[in-house]
Structure 1
Amino acid sequence: MKKVFCIGELLIDFVAENQGKNLSEAKEFTKKAGGAPANVACAISKLNGKSVFLGCVGNDPFGSFLLNILKDENVDVSSAQLSDTFTTLAFVSIDEEGERDFVFSRGADKKLKYDPALKKEFNNNIVHFGAATAMLGGELEEAYGRYLFDALTQNSFISFDPNYRVDLWKNKEELFIKKCTPFIEKSHLCKFSLEEAQLLSNKENLEEACKVFHEMGVPIIVITLGKEGTMLSTPKFSKTIESIKVKPVDTTGAGDAFIGCLLKQLSMHDSLDKVLENENQLTQMVALANKAGAITTTNFGAIESLPTPEQLAS
């Protein structure tokens, strides 16, 4: 089984208890572990895969809380780093109009230092670039780029999820596209939301968007479409794979559960080239990943809602 290295942020989400209010009116918050790469690492581990988290938290109680959660989920955190900078925080509430009110206080995640010793660990393994904060500057952005180069030189399977956050990139969309482009060009697998696919390809039509990404060099593209399922595209075929029907209560982490489940399945194969050429096998993998994402939406919170192997088998 291949290891999956997940690089990026691990942070505290303070979620307002009384939804229907903006943050200025919210009085009570619940502390939750957050960060897309950490969610993906937990999703893989919870499905009995091997995941390694590469990120930085503050040397403070919040950082300890976060690392302990990952340890409890059997994620390898031996390469995680501590910083004297406070742990990154996010405050989130949903107002009466259903709009998200979001305040982001960036801290230790940007302090991740490149570790050259990890290069050999990447050899013939999977490296997932799925950080929402990796393009925002700091040492994390530099490390992100250097780890991409290492993955290329070590015969790694490279996965990329841009994790676009409107709140972080207002009026800077062109810069976001520019920074994402090298990762799209070098990845074997790219996972996009509908919004991301349209933004990064500059195409409204998804078939045209996939054509752009394939021309950039991506062999496998998955575009998650919520309850409509997932569009799977390769240079040889394209199809939309249905998801299961559920009553969602919280969509947080659904995309992370999806890509985590997909990467775990890929990690079971020695020859990924053969898998990527097998339409039926890829379709089955995406269908199971759809199920993982859907199950995650039926409970509150991301990590605690990630499915077990038993849930996926039922």
Structure 2
Amino acid sequence: MKEVFCIGELLIDFVAEKQGNNLSEAKEFTKKAGGAPANVACAIARLGGKSSFMGCVGNDPFGNFLLNVLEEEGVNISLAQRSEEFTTLAFVSIDEDGERDFVFSRGADKEFKYSPSIKNMFYNNMVHFGAATALLGGNLEEAYGRFLFDAITHDAFVSFDPNYRADLWKNKEHIFIKKCMPFIEKSTLCKFSLEEAKLLSNKEDILDACAFFHEMGTKVVTVTMGAEGTLLSSHKKAEIVPSIPVKAVDTTGAGDAFIGCFLQQISGLKETNELIADFDLLVKMVAKANKAGAITTQNYGAIRSLPTQDQLNT
């Protein structure tokens, strides 16, 4: 089984409950562990895979809490770093349909530093670039780019999830698009939301968007579309893989659960080339990943809501 290295932010989600449609109406908050790459690492570990988290938290009680959660979930935290910067915080409001309203207070995640000694660990393993904050500058952005080069030159399977947050890129969308392109070009697998696919491709038709991403270089494209399922696309074929019906209360970790489950399945393959060639296998994997994402929406908080293999097998 291959190990999956997940690079990016680990943060505190202060989740507002019992409120209206946005943060301005929120009165009560509950502390949850979050951060897209950390969620993915936990999803992989909970399903029996091997995952390592690479990121930075503060030397404070929040940082202690976050690393303890990952360790309890079975994630390798030996590559995590600590900083005198405060731990990054996100305030999250959930509306009646499970949709989110975000405000970030950025701290230690940007301080994650590149370490050349890590690259040899990537050989014949997997590296997932799925941070929401990695392209916002700081040491993390530099490390992100250098680790992409290391992953490519050490024959790692590379996956990318842009995790676009509109509030972080207001009036700077063109910069976000430009910074995402090298990762789309070099990744075997890219996971997009419908909004991200249209933004990054500048295409309204989703099949045209997928064709654009394939021309850029990525081999397998998934576009998650909530209750409608996921559009799966390879160079030769595209198909919408349906999800399961659920009553969503919090969609915060759905995409992370999806890609975590997908990567965990891929990590068990002897040769990832067989994945690219076998569209039927991809469909089965995406169907299972859809179920993982759907289950996660039924509870508040991403990590604690992630499914186990027993839940996926029922």
TM-score, reference length from structure 2: 0.97
Where does residue 281 of structure 2 map in the other structure? 281
1:26 is displaced (CA, Å) by 3.5
User: 1:93 and 1:162 mapped to 2: Cα distance?
Assistant: 21
Mapped contact 2:262–2:289 kept (Cα < 8 A): yes
In the TM superposition, structure 1's runs of 4+ consecutive aligned residues that sit over 3 Å from their partners are 21-27, 94-102
SS of 2:134 mapped into structure 1: coil
Q: How does 1:187-206 map to 2 (within 5 A)?
A: 187-206=187-206
Question: What's the CA shift string for 1:157-212, capped at 9, x where partnerless?
Answer: 00000000011111110000000000000000000000000000000101100110
Deviates more, 1:236-245 or 1:138-147: 236-245
Contact 1:244/1:290 (CA < 8 Å) preserved in 2? yes
Q: Which amino acid aligns with 2:302?
A: A
Task: Work out the CA distance in 1 between the residues paired with 2:225 and 2:100.
Answer: 20
Residue identity matched to 1:206: I
CA pair 45-215 structure 1, distance change in 2 beyond 3 A: same
Tell me which residue corresponds to 1:108. 108
Letter in 2 for 1:249: V
CA RMSD after TM alignment: 1.5
1:268: how far off?
A: 0.2
Give 1:139's aligned residue.
Answer: 139
Task: Confirm or deny: 8 A CA contact 1:9 1:132 kept in the other structure.
Answer: yes
C-alpha separation between the residues in 2 aligned to 1:123 and 1:96? 45
Partners of 2:96 and 2:310 lie apart in 1 by 37
Query: Shift of the alpha carbon at 1:290?
Result: 0.6
SS in 2 for 1:150: helix
Q: Which amino acid aligns with 1:235?
A: H
Secondary structure of the equivalent of 1:135? Answer: helix
Partner of 2:156: 156
Report the more deviating stretch, 21-30 or 82-91: 21-30
Report the alpha carbon displacement of residue 246 of structure 1 after superposing the two structures with TM: 1.3
CA distance in 2, matches of 1:23, 1:249: 16
Q: Which residue of 1 aligns with 2:128?
A: 128
Identical columns (%): 70
Structure 1 regions of 5+ residues with no counterpart?
A: none
Alignment of 1:78-89 (within 5 A): 78-89=78-89
Residue 71 of structure 1: how far off its partner (Å): 0.4
The equivalent residue for 2:46 is 46
Q: CA deviation at 1:25?
A: 5.0
Q: For residues 292 and 138 of structure 1, what CA distance do their matches in structure 2 show?
A: 33
Contact persistence 1:20–1:97 (CA under 8 A): no
- Aligned pairs for 1:63-102 (under 5 A) are 63-94=63-94, 101-102=101-102
Query: 2:99 and 2:76 mapped to 1: Cα distance?
Result: 36
Shift of 1:245: 1.2
Residue 305 of structure 2 corresponds to 305
Residue in structure 2 matched with residue 29 of structure 1 by the alignment = 29
Separation in structure 2 between the aligned mates of residue 101 and residue 124 of structure 1, nearest angstrom: 38
1:82-137 Cα distance to aligned partner (Å, 9 max, x none)? 00100001122357999855321100000000011110000000000000000000
Contact 1:119 1:154 in 2 (8 A): yes
Q: How many residues align?
A: 314
Contact kept in structure 1, 2:15 and 2:31, CA below 8 Å: yes
Calculate the TM-score normalised by the size of structure 1.
Answer: 0.97
Alpha-carbon distance in structure 1 between the residues aligned to 2:244 and 2:94: 26
1:176 corresponds to: 176
Paired amino acid for 1:19: Q
Question: What 5-or-longer segments of structure 2 have no aligned partner?
Answer: none
AA matched with 2:86: F
Kept after mapping to 2: 8 A contact 1:20/1:98: no
Measure, in 2, the Cα distance between the counterparts of 1:76 and 1:96.
35
Residue type at the aligned position of 2:104: F
Equivalent-residue separation in structure 2 for 1:42 and 1:108 (angstroms): 20
